[in-house]
Structure 1
Amino acid sequence: MTKTYQRHDLSIDQRLALKTAATNLQREFAETFGLETIERFLHSSYDEFAGRATIIKFLPLLAERFARQRLQALAKAEGLSHDERPTVLFLCTHNAGRSQMALGFFTHLAGEQAVAWSGGSEPASEVNPAAVAAMAECGIDISTEFPKPWTDEVVRAADVVITMGCGDACPVFPGKRYEEWVLEDPAGLDLESTRPIRDEVERRVRGLLNDIGATPLHSTVR
């Protein structure tokens, strides 16, 4: 039985886009999860963004991307995935600056050697423009990323959890390696003031990659 959204009015285009998203996810995860689980994750992911989105036409795409990440995490957490690569989760308060820059550097430098996700305890409505610009100076595009919350399955699937200022709001699960990176929050800062934070994030990410046995694959430009 197809579920409906009770809190958000959907246009015809949105309904069609969500139907396409459900089909895509079912095709990808059919051998791992049932239809009910896939739709539940898609629907809850949509609701997560619908409550704070400023541009609603992208909601189905964001919901599909977030649901895919969550299903991948659930598969790993429950031992249903054959992906044994180290997985790192970067957490900060708004998932708009520090954790997004860390994710950008990690993905760029690790390649296929490891997996990284990011999240926030109080997700913002968009990624910090100064962080986007600072990363672009390094040849890394994070403009298509989006702030999102952390979820239980994502934390459970992570081998290493890096926290950046979210304090008691950051989740603590037994058996995980936790590190707190003390970094200034770039929220409200201009590009010039964001650059030193970006450079420190890169330094720490490179050190983390060495710790988990992943060799940085690229240099970064300035």
Structure 2
Amino acid sequence: MSDKPSVLFVCVHNAGRSQMAAGFLNHFAADAIEVLSAGSAPAESVNSAAVEAMAELGIDISDQTPKILTADAVQNSDVVITMGCGDTCPVFPGTSYRDWVLDDPAGAGIDAVRPIRDKIKAHVQALVDELTAQPV
């Protein structure tokens, strides 16, 4: 078990929102926070508009692949961020759960994905600040 906090981002297809969130968290705090992402019904590939939107900010998620959500991944994470997976996400005692309400970028073009990306970026920045804050 790692001594750094772990965050699991979950959305249905693990192709858009959760991949962008993981990309931002890796970019902002990879050395300080373990980053995982998964989906309850993973797609075959990451959403190309999400890849393009992240590339605009210099973050490459093109090498990522959607992964299936497992009970172990949830149980071994300190914080689980859900993004529209509803009741399909397993819940375990002792794990912190948060639901980020974000539009699903599936099938959307780059112009529709940018505002979703920007909301995710703001959420992730706040999460990094919270998880890396030093006690006073």
2:81 aligns with one of 158, 162, 170:
162
| 1:17 alignment counterpart | none
What letter corresponds to residue 105 of structure 1 in structure 2? Answer: F
When Rg is computed on C-alpha atoms for both structures, the one with the higher figure is 1
The Cα of 1:152 is off from its aligned counterpart by 1.8
Mapping of residues 38-57 of structure 1, within 5 Å: none
| 1:141 alignment counterpart | 60
| 1:20 alignment counterpart | none
**Contact in 2 for aligned 1:113/1:214 (Cα 8 Å):** no
Mapping of residues 99-178 of structure 1, within 5 Å: 99-178=18-97
User: Are 1:92 and 2:92 matched, yes or no?
Assistant: no
The Cα of 1:211 is off from its aligned counterpart by 1.2
| 1:198 alignment counterpart | 117
Give the ranges of 4+ consecutive aligned residues of structure 1 lying more than 6 Å apart after TM superposition. none
The Cα of 1:170 is off from its aligned counterpart by 0.9
Distance 1:214 1:202 in 2: 18
Does the residue aligned with 2:64 lie in a helix, a strand or coil?
coil
The Cα of 1:111 is off from its aligned counterpart by 2.7
Does the residue aligned with 2:91 lie in a helix, a strand or coil?
coil
Taking structure 2 as the reference length, the TM-score comes to: 0.96
The Cα of 1:155 is off from its aligned counterpart by 1.1
Bigger helix fraction: 1
**Contact in 2 for aligned 1:121/1:170 (Cα 8 Å):** yes
1:163-199 alpha-carbon deviations (Å, 9 max, x no partner): 0000000110111110000000000100011000000
Distance 2:53 2:34 in 1: 23
The Cα of 1:123 is off from its aligned counterpart by 0.2
Taking structure 1 as the reference length, the TM-score comes to: 0.59
Structure 1, unmatched stretches of 5+, are: 1-75, 77-82, 216-222
Does the residue aligned with 1:132 lie in a helix, a strand or coil?
helix
**Contact in 2 for aligned 1:163/1:179 (Cα 8 Å):** yes
1:120-174 alpha-carbon deviations (Å, 9 max, x no partner): 0000000000000000000000000000111122111100000000000011011
What letter corresponds to residue 3 of structure 2 in structure 1? Answer: E
Structure 2, unmatched stretches of 5+, are: none
Distance 2:64 2:22 in 1: 10
What letter corresponds to residue 4 of structure 2 in structure 1? Answer: R
Does the residue aligned with 1:212 lie in a helix, a strand or coil?
helix
Does the residue aligned with 2:132 lie in a helix, a strand or coil?
coil
User: Are 1:208 and 2:127 matched, yes or no?
Assistant: yes
The Cα of 1:214 is off from its aligned counterpart by 5.7
> CA 1:134–1:89 in 2, change beyond 3 Å: closer, same or farther?
same
Does the residue aligned with 1:179 lie in a helix, a strand or coil?
strand
Distance 1:214 1:142 in 2: 27
